[in-house]
């Protein structure tokens, strides 16, 4: 019975179609294959260890910075190319501000704190350059003094912060600053593990 009904429906559509107004929509698939590939890496395996912090050393009413750790970012490409890094907060929603990376939650569901990343000493193919970032997916750029979730990070010449350079080898100094939320907003009766994590995704421009 089901097949018979479908056959009737099809026949009805065929009879009506010549008298119906035609309409259509287009699908366009685009893209670019780049001959170059880049590999980003961080010194110390990208690990920042703040060690053990005593709860009594935390400020009760304001955030407490517990560490400033240097890391070196290196990007090595097969050939000069425009690229950017997309910082992804793997603990999104646990930082106090969108521009900070979260440290995860306590067992009681409280935001433990955050870490931020400062950027300095940028070298593009051995020449002094400046870090730039974009908050509109690369449509526009401005000078960067740090790296934040969702803001593309790239590099430009020291005289023009509006256009990413074509670079083969890039180095940047990162400073990772870790802060704990006010102690009176946290349940600290047991040990709490800091669980900050970020991924820097390579994007070709």
Each residue of 133-189: pLDDT tens digit? 999 999 999 999 999 999 999 999 999 999 999 999 999 999 999 999 999 999 998
The token pair that represents 153 in the structure block: 């990070």
Compute φ and ψ for 48, nearest 5 degrees. -115, 120
Q: What is the value of pTM for the model shown? A: 0.82
Which strand (E) or helix (H) includes residue 6? Answer: helix 2-16
Q: Which of 4-8, 14-18, 25-29, 167-171 has the lowest mean pLDDT?
A: 4-8
38-204 folds as Immunoglobulin-like (2.60.40)
Compute φ and ψ for 122, nearest 5 degrees. -85, 130
| Domains of the chain, residue spans | 38-204
Residues 70, 175 contacting (CB under 8 angstroms): yes
């Amino acid at each position: 019975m089901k097949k018979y009904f479908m056959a009737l429906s099809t026949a009805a559509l065929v009879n009506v179609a010549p008298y119906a107004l035609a309409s259509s929509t287009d699908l366009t698939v685009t893209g670019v294959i780049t001959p170059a590939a880049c590999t980003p890496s961080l010194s110390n395996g990208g690990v920042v260890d703040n060690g053990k912090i005593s709860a009594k050393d935390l400020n009760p009413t304001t955030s407490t910075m517990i560490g400033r750790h240097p890391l070196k970012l290196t990007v090595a490409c097969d050939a000069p190319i425009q690229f950017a890094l997309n910082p992804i907060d793997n603990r999104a929603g646990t930082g106090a501000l969108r521009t900070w990376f979260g440290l995860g939650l306590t067992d009681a569901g409280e935001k433990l704190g955050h870490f931020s990343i400062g950027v300095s000493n940028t070298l593009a193919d051995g020449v002094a350059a400046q870090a730039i970032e974009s908050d509109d997916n690369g449509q526009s750029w401005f000078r960067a003094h740090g790296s934040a979730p969702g803001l593309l990070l790239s590099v430009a010449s020291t005289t023009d912060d509006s256009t990413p350079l074509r670079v083969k080898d890039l180095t940047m100094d990162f400073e990772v600053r870790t802060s704990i939320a006010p102690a009176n907003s946290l349940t600290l009766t047991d040990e709490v593990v800091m669980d900050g994590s970020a991924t820097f995704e390579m994007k070709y421009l």
